[in-house]
Structure 1
Amino acid sequence: MVRVWDRVVRGFHWALVLSFVTAWLTSHSSEDIHHWAGYAAAALVSMRLLWGVIGTPYARFTQFLRDPATVVQYLLAILSGREARYIGHNPAGGAMVIVLIAAMALTALTGWLMATDAFFGVSWVEAAHSLAAHGLLLLVLLHIGGVVLASFRHRENLVRAMVTGQKRKAEPADIA
């Protein structure tokens, strides 16, 4: 086994899951809890952006961000069942991290704007928040599907890896 995900990445991931689920479940029932879950998500995203620059090697954006052509090639390889195993994020997973962070930031920002004097009750801000939140839910479901597929294809429990921080050591065909 090899240590891949540090405590900051794992703590961020599960705290963001908790804040998103809390915000989603309280969106129509408890405004205070919903707001605090959104503030927590915004703080977590800010922390992750910093950690993506100064964090441990597998946490850094430079380790897992790939150009769009590489992401498309990886997605095509998935369709043919020939995608490589990556020790860190694969190209699709790396792209999903960025898209999820951006969607969470947009959702938090529009939610915060709705609570300001300048944008309270403004219909386009409310619509943007709703669209961002629902889009984020779809992205989360796509993310979960990708994790399940990669876990199955590479015979590796990625959920457990995000709990323990450890993955199976690289084999000759794997990409570190």
Structure 2
Amino acid sequence: MASYARFSQFIRSPTLTLLYAGDMLRHKEPRYLGHNPLGAVMVVLLLLMVGGIALTGWMQTTDAYWGVEWVEETHEALAELLLVAIALHVVGVIHVSLRHHENLVLAMITGRKRAPAGGDIL
């Protein structure tokens, strides 16, 4: 079984991520069997935002932070940013699906993608 969901496999350096973003803008990005570098950034951002929403939501239930304005504002801002990030993620999935002619949603459900070709990155 492949380990494409492990952080050690899909977290890329900032340099590689920026190079991938440039390649994507030029429509020359390589196909990844796991998460591409921008997808990895999105996974980390989504996890951090959900964690922040959970933390600030919990903080609002405590005596120390009940009614504290910055906690409420942070909670609301993270929730709104999460909606934007989700929309960007969906756009990214659609873009990559069209660019590489594969159904990424189906691949997420089944865990299967077509075999790698010459320019693909495992």
TM-score by structure 2 length? 0.96
- Residue-by-residue CA offset, 1:50-71 (whole Å, 9 max, x unaligned): xxxxxxx212111000011111
How many angstroms apart in 1 are the aligned matches of 2:10 and 2:28?
19
Letter of the structure 1 residue corresponding to residue 83 of structure 2: L
* 1:151 and 2:69 are equivalent in the alignment: no
How many residues are matched?
122
Fraction of identical pairs, as percent: 47
Q: Which has the higher helix share?
A: 1
User: Within 5 Å, which residues of 2 pair with 1:70-85?
Assistant: 70-85=16-31
How many angstroms apart in 2 are the aligned matches of 1:173 and 1:67?
20
Gapped regions of structure 1 (runs ≥ 5):
5-56
Stretches of 4+ aligned residues off by more than 3 angstroms? none
Q: Which residue of 2 aligns with 1:92?
A: 38
Within the candidate set 52, 56, 65, 1:106 is matched to 52
CA RMSD of aligned residues (A): 1.0
Letter of the structure 2 residue corresponding to residue 74 of structure 1: Y
Q: Could you tell me how far 1:124 is from its partner in structure 2? A: 0.8
Q: Could you tell me how far 1:162 is from its partner in structure 2? A: 0.9
Gapped regions of structure 2 (runs ≥ 5):
none
How many angstroms apart in 1 are the aligned matches of 2:61 and 2:91?
34
Secondary structure, counterpart of 1:130 in structure 2: helix
Secondary structure, counterpart of 1:167 in structure 2: coil
Secondary structure, counterpart of 2:93 in structure 1: helix
